[in-house]
Amino acid sequence: MRVLVLNSGSSSLKFRLFDCRREASSRDDRPDRTVIKGAVKDIGDTASLEYEVEKKPGMKTTRVITDHHQAVRWLFEQLQQLNCGGAKSDCLAGVQAVGHRVVHGGERFSQPVVINPDVMDEVDALGELAPLHNPACLDGIRGARAALGATVPMVAVFDTAFHHTMPSHAKVYALPHELANRHHIRRYGFHGIAHASLVGSYFENTGRRSEGSRLITVQLGNGCSITAVKDGKSVETSMGFTPLEGLVMGTRCGDLDPSVVNYLCQKENVDASEVDRWLNEQSGLLGLSGRTNDMKELLQAAERDRHEPSQMAIEVFCYRVKKYIGAYLAVLGGADAIVFGGGIGEAAPDIRRRICEGMEWCGLRLDPLLNRAAIGLQQGDVARISPEGQPVEVYVGAADEETWIARETVHCLTGTP
């Protein structure tokens, strides 16, 4: 089965075209090969489209792109001009299914589902809880449907689905019961596809079994979250009703006293929606540093310029992650391993070092040489960065969301358990 995966972010569209086995017997099976992969970046401005075919040198082109629907149309125009995998026709001619990442699946969607008008309506309604992502996902779905027609099945794979296994006491807020139920206010969790990919890659690469396992996965990028995983299933995660809760992120504040919102409304004479925008778009690393939300630039500013706000931003970022790791060690009763992933988690050895410093008390320590060497991993790979024989091992993993979405798409359409 040739499966096209579309992974829509708030301003990006990653894609990969896979050849998958229809008879795949478990979710541990990898697609046979990647035919083409790439991304449309900076949607809403002068966007760039980068791709590589069969691991050959990549190509790049640019165009002004206003939304994800237009980005998909542009992507498909390019794919129709390419000869993929030695076929005599364009890349899209052989596509038999499309898998879409959808950020918010609400209370209903705990598994991937075939997309139909009812599913589209529900994803649209959930857009108020994920305004930067669900509308973009819908644009991607509509664009793919317009290009491929009604006969190609499409599957929605939800970021929130991985966290449906959290126990009830981890899902609820201490709000009046009737009020929370009426408005579906609970902790949903996000980044589920990335966390599931890190968990799967850990088991595949180490040969360990999920039964009896205790993992902490740490997804650090512009958005950040951490998940406690027991027996391969999520039992706690840092993001909640929206992706704003939890860790300090690129532009999001993370955990905050709720009274701050009303206080700022009164003091600044603005409404709650404006404060919400500040918390989502102007806080986090950007707000703390006053410079940037880019961790690489912050590390350079802190070291080269001795810029104190940048130093503080890094310290707060690492402290919050360390605090959550400690909490999740308590939730799990210890851990077998901690797995770092995401753009920062994969590419910033100094951040991993800062987070793990001072945690020797629980058997968590890094090997400096292994930590510095663990960069540039291939998608789906993991590398140990702790000394051998430690009670809590530490790994770096390169999450492979697109492969996970492809697997889930095949299993949804074939009914494989």
Q: Indicate which residues carry an active-site annotation.
A: 159
CB 104 within 8 A of CB 131: no
CB 415 within 8 A of CB 27: no
Q: Do the strands 33-41 and 12-19 form a parallel or antiparallel pair, or are they unpaired?
A: antiparallel
Report the chain's terminal Cα–Cα distance, integer Å. 17
Looking up tokens 């807020």, which residue turns up? 173
CB 214 within 8 A of CB 203: no
Q: How many CB atoms lie within 10 A of CB 252?
A: 27
Residue 2: its H or E element: strand 2-8
Give the C-alpha separation, 241 to 391, whole Å. Answer: 34
* Phi, psi for 396 (deg, rounded to 5): -110, 135
Q: Do the strands 154-158 and 59-64 form a parallel or antiparallel pair, or are they unpaired?
A: unpaired
Which residues lie closer than 8 Å to 234 by C-beta, 6 or more apart? 162, 163, 165, 166, 189, 192, 195, 227, 228
Closest listed residue to residue 220, CA positions, set 170, 293, 289: 293
Lookup: tokens for 384: 């140990």
CB 203 within 8 A of CB 209: yes
String of DSSP letters for 261-314: HHHHHHHHT--HHHHHHHHHHS-HHHHHHSS-S-HHHHHHHHHHS--HHHHHHH
Q: Strand 113-114's sheet: what is its strand order?
A: 59-64, 46-53, 33-41, 12-19, 2-8, 97-102, 154-158, 113-114
Q: How many CB atoms lie within 10 A of CB 391?
A: 12
CA 264 to chain centre: 30
Lookup: tokens for 265: 């409304």
Lookup: tokens for 20: 């998958």
